[in-house]
Amino acid sequence: MFKKILIANRGEIALRIVYACRELGIKTVAVHSEPDKDSLHVRFADEDVCIGPARSSESYLNISSVIAAAEITDTDAIHPGYGFLAESAAFAEVCKACKIKFIGPKPNVIATMGEKSKAREVARKAGVPVLPGSDGVVEELDAALVIAHEIGFPVIVKASAGGGGRGMRIAQDAKELARVFPVAREESRAAFSIPDVYIEKYLPNPRHIEFQILADEKGNMIHLGERECSIQRRHQKVIEEAPSTALSADLRRRMAEAAIKTARAVKYENAGTIEFLLQDGKFYFIEMNTRVQVEHPVTEMVTGVDIVKEQIRIAAGEKLSRKQEDIVIRGHSIECRINAEDPETFMPAPGLITTYHPPGGPGVRVDSAVHSDCRISPYYDSMVAKLITHGGNRDEAISRMRRSLDVMVVEGIKTSIPLQKKILSDPDFQKGNISTRFLERYVR
């Protein structure tokens, strides 16, 4: 087992990794930007190193600074969390060259599955359904128009190296495709340094379902069931839950088998997530995330598996602690992402939190790195906390979430709590009648 792990991240996920390391008896190193020097992940880690100024490109995304911090602290391994360098094949390659264990999959796997057009091809060759679309990257509008007419409008243009909804544009007809195609390419170039995009058939009212995968370095692989991630705005998830109300036992089995097939096709190792769209009883692979997910706690709540500890054990060369038959889904769990943003306009609302009171009680978990007199920085993600509830069934999980949102106090800034309350009180949400377009009713 590792003696010391550097955490190449910040905020609640960095603190989450500190907790897992403490339980495993592993020392931790926190890296931080200058404005993050008083953050909780810095306070609770065993050591800390400042790696640069506020701008991410000069701190958390600065590979040289992160590696230097690992070397001067004699670190065995680096956990990237999610975001920043978590899906950087170049960073994983540098870690390998420096003989520092990267807690995640191999660099070539990150590169392959991180480029969505290549990931589609991996899934297709593995016999997993994919949405009709282009065979790889589309560079010219004329080619995009030909493909769109072949598969039928509407279509969606997606950045091949994309994530977080950037570089994604929907076209209802040829005229709109001509307008959005260059826009998507430019968004892709700005966000990911490459303009590569591909074309997919656009489903008008799907559900977004993802399966959690764990795989060790000895060839053992299991899934931990699915998460429902359909409540999202501009492809950014707002509420997640496990399990999904949309899956029968047979459909769950078939989607899980497809997820395992896809992961095995690239000899996947560590934690990963296979994402699907589901509509009219048919599912389609859309992408793989080669890291721990923001919404991993709902899976932990219903399975009892500590995903972050499993990541660390796998990277240390240990076998999976459980077999597939050991995985039993118990009850239901829901996660609300509480962000520092205006609940009506969705504009970021950074600032000083003057009062902070997290909820508690049975079946309630709060993953957060904020506190009273803590400042939400404009430089980074606006997340304040992840509020997670668990109940014996979905109704109980919803009731606990509504109660928790009612007593959660975050003063000094605007948050998304009022929006979360509206969603949880919506009759269609309570019945499980949701899709990726559900949130449109609350967007002005």
| Confidence tier at 344 by pLDDT (50, 70, 90) | confident
Domain total in the chain: 3
pLDDT of residue 161: 80
| Confidence tier at 442 by pLDDT (50, 70, 90) | confident
Indicate the pairing of strand 197-201 with strand 155-159. antiparallel
Please indicate, yes or no, if residue 116 is contained in any of the structural domains. no
Name residues whose C-beta falls within 8 Å of residue 426's C-beta, 6 or more positions apart in sequence: none
Q: Which of 201, 229, 258 is the last residue of a domain?
A: 201
Which helix (H) or strand (E) segment is 315 a member of? Answer: helix 307-315
211 and 336 in a common domain? yes
Name residues whose C-beta falls within 8 Å of residue 440's C-beta, 6 or more positions apart in sequence: none
Q: Is 28:17 a contact under the CB 8 Å cutoff?
A: yes
pLDDT of residue 213: 98
Distance CA 417, CA 406 (A): 9
Q: Is 401:417 a contact under the CB 8 Å cutoff?
A: no
433 and 366 in a common domain? yes
Domain that holds residue 331: 207-442
Which helix (H) or strand (E) segment is 274 a member of? Answer: strand 270-279
pLDDT tens digit sequence for 112-138:
999 988 999 999 999 999 999 998 899
Q: Is 57:268 a contact under the CB 8 Å cutoff?
A: no
pLDDT of residue 443: 67
295 and 181 in a common domain? no
> What does the pLDDT average to over 422-443?
92
Q: Is 435:254 a contact under the CB 8 Å cutoff?
A: no
pLDDT of residue 444: 57
Please indicate, yes or no, if residue 120 is contained in any of the structural domains. no
Q: Which of 201, 230, 254 is the last residue of a domain?
A: 201
The tokens describing 45, both together, are 């880690």
213 and 157 in a common domain? no
Q: What is the CATH number of the domain that holds 163?
A: 3.30.1490.20
Higher local confidence (pLDDT), 330 or 115:
330
Please indicate, yes or no, if residue 117 is contained in any of the structural domains. no
Q: Is 354:411 a contact under the CB 8 Å cutoff?
A: yes
Q: Tell whether the model's pLDDT for residue 27 goes beyond 80.
A: yes
pLDDT of residue 427: 97
| Confidence tier at 331 by pLDDT (50, 70, 90) | very high
Please indicate, yes or no, if residue 115 is contained in any of the structural domains. no
Q: Is 34:362 a contact under the CB 8 Å cutoff?
A: no
pLDDT tens digit sequence for 174-187:
999 999 999 999 99
pLDDT tens digit sequence for 375-387:
999 999 999 999 9
Please indicate, yes or no, if residue 111 is contained in any of the structural domains. no
Amino acid letter, residue 343? P
Q: What is the CATH number of the domain that holds 315?
A: 3.30.470.20
Please indicate, yes or no, if residue 35 is contained in any of the structural domains. yes
Least confident piece of the model among 78-92, 159-173, 357-371, 409-423: 159-173
Q: Tell whether the model's pLDDT for residue 372 goes beyond 80.
A: yes
Q: Which of 170, 201, 232 is the last residue of a domain?
A: 201
Phi-psi domain of 335 (left: phi exceeds 0; alpha: psi -120 through 50; beta: other):
beta
Mean model confidence pLDDT for the chain: 95
181 and 212 in a common domain? no
Please indicate, yes or no, if residue 122 is contained in any of the structural domains. no
227 and 193 in a common domain? no
pLDDT tens digit sequence for 49-76:
999 999 999 999 999 999 999 999 999 9
Question: What does the DSSP assignment read for 152-215?
Answer: -S-EEEEETT--TTTTEEEESSHHHHHHHHHHHHHHHHHHHS---EEEEEPPSS-EEEEEEEEE
Residue whose C-alpha is closest to residue 88's, from 77, 72, 104, 100: 104
Q: Is 49:60 a contact under the CB 8 Å cutoff?
A: no
**Percent of the chain scoring above 90 in pLDDT:** 91
Phi-psi domain of 150 (left: phi exceeds 0; alpha: psi -120 through 50; beta: other):
alpha
The tokens describing 424, both together, are 């949880």
| Confidence tier at 339 by pLDDT (50, 70, 90) | very high
195 and 50 in a common domain? no
- Predicted TM-score (pTM) of this structure: 0.94
Q: Tell whether the model's pLDDT for residue 441 goes beyond 90.
A: no
211 and 195 in a common domain? no
Q: Tell whether the model's pLDDT for residue 342 goes beyond 70.
A: yes
183 and 83 in a common domain? no
Please indicate, yes or no, if residue 12 is contained in any of the structural domains. yes
262 and 348 in a common domain? yes
Name the residues annotated as catalytic. Answer: 291
Distance CA 295, CA 149 (A): 37
Amino acid letter, residue 64? S
Q: What is the CATH number of the domain that holds 17?
A: 3.40.50.20
pLDDT of residue 135: 87
> What does the pLDDT average to over 242-256?
98
> What does the pLDDT average to over 5-10?
98
Distance CA 90, CA 138 (A): 24
Q: Tell whether the model's pLDDT for residue 107 goes beyond 80.
A: yes
216 and 184 in a common domain? no
183 and 75 in a common domain? no
> What does the pLDDT average to over 404-416?
97
